[in-house]
Amino acid sequence: MARNEAILNLKAILVRRRDALRSALAGDLSLLKELRSGEPGDVMDAALDSAQDEISSQLAEVESRELASIEHALERMRDGDYGLCEVCEGKIPMARLNALPYATICITCQREIERTGLSAESLREEVEMASDEEEVDVS
Ligand SMILES: [Zn+2]
Protein backbone atom coordinates (compact mmCIF):
# COMPACT_ATOMS: atom_id res chain seq x y z
CA MET A 1 0.00 0.00 0.00
CA ALA A 2 2.73 2.43 1.01
CA ARG A 3 4.67 1.40 -2.08
CA ASN A 4 1.73 2.16 -4.40
CA GLU A 5 1.26 5.58 -2.82
CA ALA A 6 4.96 6.31 -3.12
CA ILE A 7 4.84 5.31 -6.79
CA LEU A 8 1.91 7.70 -7.38
CA ASN A 9 3.99 10.48 -5.86
CA LEU A 10 6.87 9.59 -8.13
CA LYS A 11 4.53 9.67 -11.11
CA ALA A 12 3.61 13.28 -10.32
CA ILE A 13 7.31 14.12 -9.99
CA LEU A 14 8.12 12.43 -13.30
CA VAL A 15 5.31 14.19 -15.16
CA ARG A 16 6.42 17.59 -13.83
CA ARG A 17 10.02 16.85 -14.74
CA ARG A 18 9.00 15.67 -18.21
CA ASP A 19 7.08 18.88 -18.88
CA ALA A 20 10.01 21.00 -17.63
CA LEU A 21 12.44 19.11 -19.85
CA ARG A 22 10.17 19.47 -22.84
CA SER A 23 10.06 23.24 -22.54
CA ALA A 24 13.81 23.41 -21.82
CA LEU A 25 14.44 21.43 -24.97
CA ALA A 26 12.12 23.67 -26.95
CA GLY A 27 14.05 26.66 -25.55
CA ASP A 28 17.40 25.17 -26.49
CA LEU A 29 16.30 24.56 -30.04
CA SER A 30 15.30 28.17 -30.58
CA LEU A 31 18.65 29.23 -29.11
CA LEU A 32 20.49 26.99 -31.56
CA LYS A 33 18.48 28.44 -34.45
CA GLU A 34 19.36 31.98 -33.33
CA LEU A 35 23.08 31.12 -33.29
CA ARG A 36 22.92 29.66 -36.79
CA SER A 37 20.97 32.46 -38.41
CA GLY A 38 23.39 35.12 -37.02
CA GLU A 39 25.77 36.89 -39.41
CA PRO A 40 29.25 35.32 -39.33
CA GLY A 41 31.56 37.60 -37.28
CA ASP A 42 35.34 37.41 -36.90
CA VAL A 43 37.23 34.21 -36.01
CA MET A 44 36.79 34.74 -32.27
CA ASP A 45 33.06 35.22 -32.64
CA ALA A 46 32.86 32.09 -34.73
CA ALA A 47 34.83 30.13 -32.12
CA LEU A 48 32.61 31.41 -29.34
CA ASP A 49 29.53 30.62 -31.37
CA SER A 50 30.63 27.07 -32.07
CA ALA A 51 31.62 26.56 -28.41
CA GLN A 52 28.23 27.77 -27.31
CA ASP A 53 26.61 25.68 -29.96
CA GLU A 54 28.43 22.62 -28.64
CA ILE A 55 27.44 23.30 -25.04
CA SER A 56 23.81 23.76 -26.02
CA SER A 57 23.73 20.60 -28.06
CA GLN A 58 25.45 18.62 -25.28
CA LEU A 59 22.91 19.96 -22.84
CA ALA A 60 20.10 19.12 -25.22
CA GLU A 61 21.53 15.63 -25.59
CA VAL A 62 21.58 15.06 -21.81
CA GLU A 63 18.10 16.51 -21.51
CA SER A 64 16.64 14.41 -24.28
CA ARG A 65 18.26 11.29 -22.83
CA GLU A 66 16.68 12.06 -19.46
CA LEU A 67 13.39 12.80 -21.19
CA ALA A 68 13.53 9.41 -22.93
CA SER A 69 14.19 7.68 -19.58
CA ILE A 70 11.26 9.50 -18.01
CA GLU A 71 8.93 8.63 -20.89
CA HIS A 72 10.04 5.03 -20.56
CA ALA A 73 9.36 4.99 -16.79
CA LEU A 74 5.90 6.55 -17.33
CA GLU A 75 5.19 3.91 -19.96
CA ARG A 76 6.04 1.20 -17.44
CA MET A 77 3.72 2.87 -14.92
CA ARG A 78 0.92 2.65 -17.47
CA ASP A 79 1.70 -1.03 -18.05
CA GLY A 80 1.90 -1.66 -14.31
CA ASP A 81 5.54 -2.79 -14.53
CA TYR A 82 7.00 0.25 -12.83
CA GLY A 83 9.28 -0.52 -9.90
CA LEU A 84 10.20 -3.93 -11.27
CA CYS A 85 13.70 -4.48 -12.62
CA GLU A 86 13.71 -4.86 -16.40
CA VAL A 87 16.47 -7.45 -16.18
CA CYS A 88 15.73 -9.73 -13.20
CA GLU A 89 12.09 -8.63 -12.63
CA GLY A 90 12.83 -8.16 -8.93
CA LYS A 91 11.34 -5.24 -6.99
CA ILE A 92 13.48 -2.13 -7.13
CA PRO A 93 13.79 -0.77 -3.56
CA MET A 94 11.83 2.44 -2.89
CA ALA A 95 15.05 4.14 -1.76
CA ARG A 96 16.49 3.74 -5.25
CA LEU A 97 13.27 4.88 -6.93
CA ASN A 98 13.12 7.94 -4.71
CA ALA A 99 16.69 8.82 -5.60
CA LEU A 100 16.21 8.04 -9.30
CA PRO A 101 12.49 7.95 -10.16
CA TYR A 102 13.11 6.86 -13.74
CA ALA A 103 15.27 3.87 -12.75
CA THR A 104 13.92 0.71 -14.38
CA ILE A 105 16.82 -1.54 -13.40
CA CYS A 106 17.81 -2.61 -9.87
CA ILE A 107 21.21 -1.75 -8.47
CA THR A 108 22.53 -5.31 -8.74
CA CYS A 109 21.68 -5.52 -12.45
CA GLN A 110 22.85 -1.94 -13.06
CA ARG A 111 26.27 -2.88 -11.62
CA GLU A 112 26.31 -6.00 -13.78
CA ILE A 113 25.56 -3.86 -16.86
CA GLU A 114 28.40 -1.48 -15.96
CA ARG A 115 30.77 -4.39 -15.26
CA THR A 116 29.99 -6.39 -18.41
CA GLY A 117 29.17 -3.51 -20.77
CA LEU A 118 26.08 -5.44 -21.90
CA SER A 119 22.80 -3.73 -22.67
CA ALA A 120 19.86 -4.34 -20.31
CA GLU A 121 18.31 -6.46 -23.04
CA SER A 122 21.26 -8.80 -23.56
CA LEU A 123 21.79 -9.10 -19.83
CA ARG A 124 18.14 -10.13 -19.43
CA GLU A 125 18.61 -12.76 -22.11
CA GLU A 126 21.60 -14.08 -20.18
CA VAL A 127 19.67 -14.13 -16.92
CA GLU A 128 16.80 -15.95 -18.66
CA MET A 129 19.17 -18.47 -20.21
CA ALA A 130 20.83 -19.07 -16.83
CA SER A 131 17.46 -19.70 -15.16
CA ASP A 132 16.46 -22.07 -17.98
CA GLU A 133 19.63 -24.05 -17.35
CA GLU A 134 18.83 -24.18 -13.65
CA GLU A 135 15.38 -25.53 -14.40
CA VAL A 136 16.90 -28.23 -16.61
CA ASP A 137 19.34 -29.16 -13.83
CA VAL A 138 16.50 -29.45 -11.29
CA SER A 139 14.26 -31.63 -13.47
ZN1 LIG B 1 17.62 -6.60 -11.40
pTM over 0.85: no
> How close is the Cα of 1 to the center of ligand 1, in Å?
22
Q: Write out pLDDT tens, residues 7-16.
A: 999 999 999 8
Q: Write out pLDDT tens, residues 10-37.
A: 999 999 888 888 887 777 554 444 555 5
DSSP secondary structure, 44-75, as one string:
HHHHHHHHHHHHHHHHHHHHHHHHHHHHHHHH
Number of domains making up the chain: 1
Reference 67, options 95, 34, 26, 36; nearest CA is 26
> How close is the Cα of 11 to the center of ligand 1, in Å?
21
> How close is the Cα of 132 to the center of ligand 1, in Å?
17
Which portions of the chain are predicted below pLDDT 70? 1, 28-49, 134-139
- Domain of 48: which CATH number? 1.20.120.910
> Residue 116 belongs to what domain range?
2-138
> How close is the Cα of 101 to the center of ligand 1, in Å?
15
Within 10 angstroms of residue 63's Cβ, the number of other Cβ atoms is 16
